[in-house]
């Protein structure tokens, strides 16, 4: 079938009518890459899609069938704006694995933690307000911050995560300009994209710095249960219940297609978040929430998380082995203990974005580092995701990438 032509779709004739907040809305580097990276001949080390090969689809089908037969009319109806009460209780149990003591009344279920990021930014940020974020930071969060016209100031990390002294310096330099810092956005565990984890000893210091400066912490923790040795770390929220908003998600420990995440916030903030959520989408999807709730109460979900950990650990190992055997001298990378990502830094003079078309021609894709900064920084770095391809494909991808790099270094 011939699709009708859409005249004018290339040149946007609505440009002078859009709201000012759309100015920060640009296609993410990842999205632009999806089309090429998904061709079968390309080894994609670009996207961070969870690998669902480990999910027991038959058992999940049984959960779905029972839910529909036993409680279909409720599951298919609107629900409360704050989310399903049973699920919120179960969420509190899950958070206990990382020492977080939360009350179900202080939890709001959201459409993925992505919506929680949006809601928190919506209720706290006016145009021009400053948000501190690690450098590099999660591209999806930067997109939200841009759409509320926030100014993101990046704080550099080392291989132990956010550096307290850098945080102090960033706060001082922003405050010296008279601008208001609304919150610190941080991904303490198995960072996307940096692949590092905030040292446990640094956590109380970081919490203290923010509390003293009157800066909220937005703790984003979708990967916390995916430590390859089964290790978990005390959440920042466990160190301060008043100044930390904690975000969690079922996307990486179960499946992203349900689109269920959550926020645990100080009570007053949770109420404001619920009002914002109600305005945005009335309520989170009842069907998804009830599916997850039944899955948690009838299936061995902790065993399932273990299976995910094993799957990702095997891929992390394949990536690190291939990098250490194949990378040219001068290239460095992080060594993740969990999660999906390795952050690679190239020798000075190489530009990961300029190099990408040549990498794709060589049939390997990654995400250039500039996508993870709001300020144009990051040209000499890039993110490799190892979550999806098989270990053999990962090795092949790293080999192709190493060949491209060698050619670049000879140019
Ligand atoms: N935060 C981080 C750090 C992420 O990596 C992601 C997903 N890639 C999200 C939030 C959003 O996850 P979801 O909306 O699926 O819960």
- Name residue, tokens 């959960």: 63
Calculate how far, in angstroms, residue 128's C-alpha sits from the geometric centre of ligand 1: 25
- Categorize the per-residue pLDDT at 309 as very low, low, confident or very high, splitting at 50, 70 and 90: very high
Calculate how far, in angstroms, residue 194's C-alpha sits from the geometric centre of ligand 1: 14
Calculate how far, in angstroms, residue 222's C-alpha sits from the geometric centre of ligand 1: 6
Each residue's pLDDT tens digit, 334-352: 999 999 999 999 999 999 9
Each residue's pLDDT tens digit, 38-71: 788 999 999 899 999 889 999 999 999 999 999 9
Calculate how far, in angstroms, residue 348's C-alpha sits from the geometric centre of ligand 1: 31
Contacts of residue 47, Cβ cutoff 8 Å, sequence gap at least 6: 30, 33, 34, 37, 385, 388
Is the shortest distance between the CB of 187 and ligand 1 below 6 Å?
A: yes
Q: Is 311 exposed, middle or buried (0-12, 13-18, 19+ CB in 10 A)?
A: middle
Nearest-atom number in ligand 1 for the CA of 138 is 3
Query: What pairs with residue 333 in β-bridges?
Result: 344
Is the shortest distance between the CB of 111 and ligand 1 below 6 Å?
A: no
Q: What is the pLDDT of residue 238?
A: 97
Is the shortest distance between the CB of 385 and ligand 1 below 6 Å?
A: no
SS3 377: coil
Q: How far apart are CA 98 and CA 264, in angstroms?
A: 13
Q: Give, as one character, the DSSP assignment of residue 356.
A: H
Closest CA to 292 of 102, 80, 71, 67: 67
Closest CA to 45 of 326, 315, 385: 385
Calculate how far, in angstroms, residue 141's C-alpha sits from the geometric centre of ligand 1: 8
- DSSP string for residues in 215-284: -EEEEE-SSTT-BTTS-----GGGT-SSSEEEEEESTTTT-GGG--EEEE--HHHHHHHHHHHHHHHSS-
The pTM assigned to this predicted structure is 0.95
Q: Which of 117, 224, 251 to mutate to test the pocket of ligand 1 (most atoms within 8 A of CB)?
A: 251
Q: How far apart are CA 131 and CA 275, in angstroms?
A: 22
State the chain's mean pLDDT as an integer.
94
Each residue's pLDDT tens digit, 161-202: 999 999 999 999 999 999 999 999 999 999 999 999 999 999
Crossing angle of the two packed helices 352-361 and 29-37, in degrees rounded to 10 = 10
HSE-up of 152 (CA within 13 Å, CB side)?
Answer: 28
Nearest-atom number in ligand 1 for the CA of 261 is 16
Minimum mean pLDDT range among 2-16, 226-240, 357-371: 2-16
Is the shortest distance between the CB of 263 and ligand 1 below 6 Å?
A: no
318 phi, psi to nearest 5 deg: -60, -40
SS3 13: coil
Nearest-atom number in ligand 1 for the CA of 191 is 3
Is the shortest distance between the CB of 378 and ligand 1 below 6 Å?
A: no
Q: Which of 47, 49, 111, 112 to mutate to test the pocket of ligand 1 (most atoms within 8 A of CB)?
A: 112
Calculate how far, in angstroms, residue 60's C-alpha sits from the geometric centre of ligand 1: 22
Calculate how far, in angstroms, residue 9's C-alpha sits from the geometric centre of ligand 1: 30
Residue 307: both structure tokens together: 């299976």
Query: What pairs with residue 162 in β-bridges?
Result: 157
- Tell me: pLDDT of 8 over 50: no
Q: Which of 116, 140, 143, 248 to mutate to test the pocket of ligand 1 (most atoms within 8 A of CB)?
A: 140
Query: What pairs with residue 153 in β-bridges?
Result: 132
Hey, whose CA ends up nearest to atom 8 of ligand 1?
A: 48
Q: What is the pLDDT of residue 71?
A: 97
| Cis peptide upstream of residue 136 (ω within 30 degrees of 0) | yes
- Tell me: pLDDT of 245 over 90: yes
Angle at CA 341, nearest 5°, toward 335 and 345?
A: 65
Q: How far apart are CA 100 and CA 22, in angstroms?
A: 37
């Amino acid at each position: 079938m011939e699709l009708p032509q859409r005249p004018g779709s290339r040149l946007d004739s609505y440009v002078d009518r859009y709201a000012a907040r759309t100015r920060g809305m640009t296609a993410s580097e990842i999205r632009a890459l999806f089309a090429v990276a998904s061709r079968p001949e390309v080894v994609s080390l670009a996207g961070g899609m969870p690998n669902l090969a480990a999910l027991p689809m038959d058992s999940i089908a049984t959960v779905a069938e029972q839910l529909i037969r036993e409680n279909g009319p409720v599951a298919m109806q609107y629900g409360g704006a704050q989310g399903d009460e049973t699920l919120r209780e179960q969420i509190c149990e899950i958070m206990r694995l990382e020492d977080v003591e939360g009350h179900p009344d202080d939890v709001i279920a959201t459409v993925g933690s992505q919506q929680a990021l949006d809601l928190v930014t919506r209720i706290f940020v006016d145009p021009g307000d400053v948000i501190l974020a690690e450098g590099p930071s999660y591209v999806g969060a930067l997109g939200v911050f841009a759409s509320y016209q926030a100014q993101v100031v990046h704080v550099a990390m080392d291989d132990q995560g956010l550096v307290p002294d850098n945080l102090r310096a960033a706060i001082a330099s922003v405050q010296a300009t008279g601008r208001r810092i609304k919150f610190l956005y941080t991904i303490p565990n198995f960072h996307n994209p940096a692949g590092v984890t905030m040292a446990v000893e640094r956590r109380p210091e970081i919490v203290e710095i923010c509390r003293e400066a009157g800066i909220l912490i937005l703790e984003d923790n979708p990967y916390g249960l995916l430590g390859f040795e089964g290790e978990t770390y005390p959440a920042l929220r466990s160190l301060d219940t008043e100044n930390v908003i904690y975000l969690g998600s079922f996307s990486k420990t179960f499946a992203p297609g349900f689109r269920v995440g959550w926020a645990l916030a100080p009570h007053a903030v949770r109420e404001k978040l619920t009002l914002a959520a109600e305005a945005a989408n009335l309520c989170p999807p009842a069907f998804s929430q009830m599916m997850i709730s039944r899955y948690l109460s009838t299936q061995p979900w902790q065993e399932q998380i273990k299976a995910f950990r094993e799957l990702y650990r095997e891929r992390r190992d394949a990536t690190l082995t291939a990098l250490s055997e194949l990378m040219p001298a001068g290239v460095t990378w992080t060594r993740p203990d969990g999660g999906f990502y390795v952050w690679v830094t190239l020798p000075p003079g190489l530009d990961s974005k300029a190099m990408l078309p040549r990498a794709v021609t060589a049939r390997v894709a990654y995400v250039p580092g500039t996508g993870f900064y709001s300020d144009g920084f990051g040209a000499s770095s890039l993110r490799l995701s190892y979550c999806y391809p098989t270990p053999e494909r990962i090795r092949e991808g790293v080999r192709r990438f190493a060949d491209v790099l060698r050619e670049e270094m000879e140019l």
